[in-house]
Structure 1
Amino acid sequence: MKWQQINVSNDGTHFLYEGNLIFGKHFIEVLKFHSPGLAPVVDESGAYHINELGDALYSKRYNRTFGFYCNRSSVIENTDWFHIDEKGNRIYSNFYSWTGNYQENLCTVRNKANQYFHIDLDGNRIYSENYIYTGDFKDGVACVKLQNGKFRHIDSNGNPINDLLFEDLGIFHKNFATAKDARGWFHIDRKGNELYSERYLMIEPFYNGFALVTLFDNSKRIIDENGQVMLTL
């Protein structure tokens, strides 16, 4: 039995393999398996992780556990958040008020002063700045909200990828990101340059060269990467 073929039941209380109950047990809650073949579960004893055989990874119990990403999992003990490794060991000594999931070997966290920043696989900060908010890294770039309320993109060393600031930002997808200024939402390239002059109420990332956008009258259009309207919906 391969863990990749283990599914979560529709009610989220047990695991299925080829449509059949496995491990001979229903839980209070289960989440899907992630590499290296571990899943978060909750039963009467608390929250913990099991392996692909259904065995508990460790004896300790938490208030809540989450899936493994980059062989790291967020866990909550009372009101403290931190990460454990695939053997159930704590990665670092710090406690946080919230921890995200590792992406590209980096993770966004919020400290007890409600400041956001990113840490590496060993729990070390990758830069000294504190932000109002930080998002996950994707393709080496993350969105952060500065203390002045503006957004920018940073690289995996914590350096800005350009000098431009925005009212709001999305992650890069196929070299383009969503951005917002005082006039509305639009798309930018990696240098922060706008792809077109129009602004919208809402936009989606480009999907194979086209994006769904919502005008300020709530009508919708499909535009290409040059901002040309290709279809009115």
Structure 2
Amino acid sequence: MHITIRTAVLFLSSTLFLGCNSKNKDQITLENAMAQSSKSNVSLATYERMNPFKNGFAQVQLNGKIGFINKKGENIVPYQYEYPHDFKDGFAVVENAKKYGFIDTKGKEITPLKYDFAMDFENGKALVVSNKKWGFIDEKGKEIIPVIYEKANSFSGELGTVKLNGQWYIIDKMNNKKKVSCNCDVISSFDEGLAPIKIDGKSGFMNKEGRVVIQPKYDLVFNFQEGLASVTLNDKSGFINTKGEVVVPLIYDGYPQFKDGLAAVNQNEKYGFIDKTGKLVIPMKYERVYDFENGLAGVYIDQKIGFINKKGEMIIPPVYDQIHTGEGIIGVVGEGKGKFLDSTGKELFPEVYEDVYGFSDGVALVKQNGMWFYIDKKGKRVL
């Protein structure tokens, strides 16, 4: 299995999400109560669950409800939500009883929890759904694009796509609409100037003028990334460029995507990596792989994880059960022991933990002596 998180076009029958490991990184159940930190005036023992920090805040659960703390351990958002998102661009989606709203970093609700669905803010706008109609709100909670559309996709730069009365349109931030000339069944968001479309069961791309520039002939297409798009026909995948030219032949299984200049590819359940010319630069010999990040990729050999560089050289031996990357530091767990390594495999801290998670916002969540707490990049406990 190629392990990654990718954005598929919205006309997929189901959302593709391939997790990085078996443990749920976003919601950590504490097996035992945690001791009060001697470095903080806040007791972590109260919390039933904790999350890694994201954008300055961490989710914590108390009495079955979730709130947020800051890096001082102060409760910024009361424990009153069932399913909040992490903060992004200064706001977080929150959910109670299957109704969605938004809060700011002070815990103030900028909209009541009245929507049937909501997505994170991007570029000052958030997509919302009410009574099966789609629209957008601004950072004050005002519906700047009316919630009247049958379908809408997130903005990419200045443009988005919406469907009204069976007709697709390209819209700008002022809700000015331009009719799409092709009779598209489905249109996705723009990336690198092109948006995936689907007509009569086949997929291609249109440009920002609404003209079809890559004819719908594929079974499945993904948004362009790094100048190339992954496309699938007859259960085989390859890559095309923005002119529609096949750059990498459609000979691979799965749905590869380029990241950090290389793409993980799969044939006969063995994985390797190709460059943007389609050249196989790392042989297909691994059981599973992670995408490259900061010049390294995790690979599985005999169900153990190690790291290779872009030359295919093994930098960190495959002896670990779990890995967690973040901010240039690698958290590893093997034989019940967790530690942190740099990109050469050197151990960064003398401490050994029972479990670790990757660094985010300059801190990492670790478990030691049955207790969960946060450390900084010097290995010092900060909360």
Distance 1:29 1:175 in 2: 39
Determine which of 249, 258, 261 is the counterpart of 1:105.
Answer: 261
Distance 1:72 1:18, change over 3 A: same
**More strand per residue:** 2
Q: Which residue of 1 aligns with 2:344?
A: 191
Change in Cα spacing, 1:175 to 1:51, as seen in structure 2 (3 Å) is same
Distance 1:61 1:137 in 2: 30
TM superposition shift of 1:16: 3.1
* Stretch deviating more after TM superposition (46-55 or 159-168): 159-168
* Distance in 1 of aligned mates of 2:306 and 2:317: 8
In the alignment, the residues of structure 2 paired with residue 14 and residue 215 of structure 1 have an alpha-carbon distance, to the nearest angstrom, of 55
The one-letter code matched in structure 1 to 2:172 is Y
Amino acid at match of 1:44: D
Q: Which residue of 1 aligns with 2:375?
A: 223
CA distance in 1, matches of 2:184, 2:324: 37
Q: Residue 180 of structure 1 corresponds to which residue in structure 2?
A: 333
Contact 1:70/1:102 (8 A) holds in 2: yes
For residue 211 of structure 1, the aligned residue among 341, 364, 375 is: 364
The Cα of 1:229 is off from its aligned counterpart by: 2.1
**What SS is found at the alignment partner of 2:257?**
coil
Alpha-carbon shift at residue 203 of structure 1 (Å): 1.4
Give me the CA root mean square deviation. 2.9
Q: Which amino acid aligns with 1:224?
A: D
Deviations 1:186-222 (Å, cap 9, x if unpaired)?
Answer: 3221222333433244513242x312346686x6422
AA at the equivalent of 1:32: S
Match of 1:79 among 228, 235, 241: 235
Deviation at 1:50, TM superposition (A): 1.3
Q: Distance in 1 between matches of 2:374 and 2:172?
A: 41
Identify which of 35, 38, 42 aligns with 2:194.
Answer: 38
Q: TM-score scaled by structure 2? A: 0.52
- Asked which structure has the greater RCO (Cα within 8 Å, sep 6+), the reply is 2
Deviation per residue, 1:85-107 (Å, 9 max, x gap): 11111113351111321122211
**2:12 is matched with which residue?**
none
> Given the alignment of the two structures, is residue 150 of structure 1 paired with residue 338 of structure 2, yes or no?
no
Instruction: Name the structure 2 match of 1:7.
Output: 160
- 1:139 is paired with a residue whose SS is coil
Residue aligned with 2:306, SS: strand
2:224 aligns to what?
A: 68
CA gap of 1:206–1:45, structure 2 versus 1, over 3 A, is closer
Contact 2:336/2:355, CA 8 A, preserved across alignment = no
Contact kept in structure 1, 2:322 and 2:333, CA below 8 Å:
yes
Q: CA deviation at 1:120?
A: 0.8
- Percent of residue pairs bearing the same amino acid type: 21
Tell me, in whole angstroms, the C-alpha distance in 1 between the residues paired with 2:354 and 2:178.
Answer: 51
Q: Given residue 357 of structure 2, which amino acid in structure 1 is its aligned partner? A: I
Counterparts of 1:84 and 1:210 in 2: how far apart (Å)? 39
Give the equivalent residue in structure 2 for 1:139: 294
Distance 2:241 2:223 in 1: 11
The verdict on how the C-alpha distance between 1:14 and 1:161 changes in structure 2, with shifts beyond 3 A counting, is: farther
Cα distance in 1 for residues equivalent to 2:176 and 2:236: 34
Contact 1:99 1:108 (C-alpha < 8 Å) held by counterparts: no
Moved more, 50-59 or 13-22: 13-22
Q: Which amino acid aligns with 1:16?
A: I
More displaced stretch, 190-199 vs 123-132: 190-199
Which of structures 1 and 2 has the bigger CA Rg? 2
Matched residue type, 1:151: I
Q: CA separation in 1, counterparts of 2:339 and 2:195?
A: 39
Aligned to 2:16: none
Q: 1:179 to 1:92 in 2, by over 3 A?
A: same
Please give the TM-score of this superposition, normalised by the length of structure 1.
0.81
Q: Distance in 2 between matches of 1:167 and 1:21?
A: 52
Matched residue of 2:348: which SS? coil
Q: Take 1:21 and 1:42, find their aligned partners in 2: how far apart are those partners?
A: 23
Q: Do the aligned partners of 1:206 and 1:225 also contact (CA within 8 Å) in 2?
A: no
CA distance in 2, matches of 1:31, 1:220: 41
CA distance in 1, matches of 2:300, 2:246: 29
